[in-house]
A and B are shown apart, each in its own frame.
Chain A
Amino acid sequence: MTAVAIGRAADGVRRRNAVLLVVLLAALLAAPWLVNDYLLTVMIVILYSAFTGQAWNIMMGFAGQLSLGHALYAGLGAYVSAVLFTKFGIDPWLGFLVSVPVAALSGAIIGFLAFRFGVSGVYFAILTIAFAEFARIGFDHLSLVNAAAGLFLPVAQYGHNDLLRLRGDPTMFYYVILAATVVAFALCRFLIGSRIGYYWLAIREDEQAARSAGIDTFRCKMYAVTISAAITSFAGVFYAFFYNNLFPEQVFGIGRSIEMILGPVIGGVGTLFGPILGSFLLTGLAETLDSALAAAGLDVPGAKEVFYGVCLLIVIVALPDGVWPPLARRLGLDKDKR
């Protein structure tokens, strides 16, 4: 293949990617007019999962660092913004500006401890779980946040949507999380095409070889965990103002961390579309199952978890790279950046 041919093929892929993005975005923008309130809530849950999956993917998919404690960063974002709002009357967007450094700092502390002392692989994953558990138990006894009794945000009936205070109807929340997901996607796309993105991939592939190519791997991994934690904290802010109640058990529980990684794992770790596709597949199908069971008058506790397990099994056995990479090949999109 000549350089021109390679360039032309890449252009075609780029065009197809752009078309896919525009169609997807248009459909998502139009969704509130097309679906009912229940489905809109499902869409919110899907986009929430896509957003957190995108953030987690920076650490695992790009830099190759397995975090199983991302609930920590979302939880900190949720509690910081909720406490500032309920106790001090500070608007959530300002609260978000506080929760970003809090989450980023906690990510940096975990990263520093792990990367400085050579904790890697599954041991790093265990460390991230441990910190999320510390937070869960700590917040369970922290009276500032009403401990285990839970923190509640005042739910008032608003005649209009107040975007500044994040009080309003599901449509407003839908657009907020959609915007956040678009921003996260664009940010990831930018990062992976930049110098730090190349360095992350090199570290993921072979850390020793990366160091020999002159890469300061410690610093790059610190960037990954800090950026990922900072982005994830926004999910927490959203969570707090969407659900209006926070319990340490729920917010910091390991189940939350696992839910965050399911989307990208099903969709394709390390890809840009994987977290989005995986969230749609998983949450979409799980909600369908839920409502089908409800319609049939069956009450099956834990059905969703069993369903997640089955999905994971199928993907691990049949599509170990996730659903997106083979689908992208089929659509002629695979020659784009990874």
Chain B
Amino acid sequence: MTSLLSLDRVSKRFRGLVAVDAVSFAVPEGGIFAVIGPNGAGKTTLFNMIAGAMAPDAGSIAFAGAPIAGLMPDAVCRRGVARTFQLVRPFPALSVEDNVIVGALLRRRDVDAARERAHALLRRFDLFDRCRQPASSLTLPDRKRLEVVRALATEPKLLLLDEMLAGLRPTEIDRMVAILRELNSESGLTILLIEHVMRAVMALASRVLVLDHGTVIAEGAPEAVVRDPAVVRSYLGAETL
């Protein structure tokens, strides 16, 4: 399998603190890749560098064969990388429909065509009933789903999900996991996710990377990684086994 996204010794420093320290990994095309690790391990910083929200201090990031490190977020999105935020950020005063239309307009100039596309996506994610409601009136699970829909509307090749499942109930998690799996298997969408919910990581990911204090402490298949003593010590704790 070729890699869609590859990072080569990417580092980020905040004054004295090294948030991400020479991290390298490759996300295979069509795969679901999970990044796990304790709070403050540098996961979101890593995400922000991939999505263009901040530029790495050192190292390179390549997407579909071209370097993207240091590009602005909108340029990264136009190349086919869509993201969600850890704390959801739908456009609050806009209707659910309009939120998705904004995303869909990236690949089509015509508003009616974008609306059609938005409706198709909203139906698929069971949000069509709430089309006309302002996004601010949705419940947290719905807002999270809306953010995924908005990201998908930009027709990405790679979807970055930042703790999409945190704060959801188990049934909602299962539903989201099923949706993401379907997207991955049907359209071949590559997914890179940061996640704390190990149940979902085990169910979804084909490959897992473990970060701790900004460095990679393990990488591999999920079953192997959770048995890694270093991972158990720093992150999972003995009781998860």
Contacts and interface: CB of A to CB of B under 8 A. Distances in A.
Nearest to A196: B105
Contacts of B128: 3
Contacts of A6: 131-132
A213 B101 contact: no
B89 A208 contact: yes
A201 B72 CA distance: 20
Contacts of B90: 209
Contact of B94 (A202, A208, A211): A202
A198 interface: yes
Given A6-B131, A216-B74, A206 B91 contact: yes
A202 B129 CA distance: 22
A14 to B, nearest CB: 14
B102 interface: yes
A210 interface: yes
Contacts of B102: 198-199, 201-202, 210, 213, 215
B150 interface: yes
B196 interface: no
A213 B77 contact: yes
A202 B91 contact: yes
Contacts of A194: 111
Interface in A210-235: 210-217
A213 B154 contact: yes
Number of chain B interface residues as a range: 20 to 34
B106 interface: yes
Number of chain A interface residues as a range: 20 to 34
Contacts of A217: 74
A93 to B, nearest CB: 33
A335 B132 CA distance: 8
Contact of A214 (B53, B94, B129, B154): B154
A88 B30 CA distance: 69
A297 interface: no
| Best-surrounded residue of A3, A6, A199, A209 (most CB of chain B within 10 A) | A209
Interface string B102-129: 1101100111001000010000000011
A210 B114 CA distance: 16
Interface in A268-295: none
A215 B51 CA distance: 13
A152 to B, nearest CB: 47
Contacts of A156: none
A195 B111 contact: yes
B93 interface: yes
Interface in B114-170: 114, 119, 128-129, 131-132, 150-151, 154
A202 B73 CA distance: 15
A193 interface: yes
Shortest beta-carbon contacts, A-B, top 4: A205-B91, A214-B77, A214-B106, A209-B89
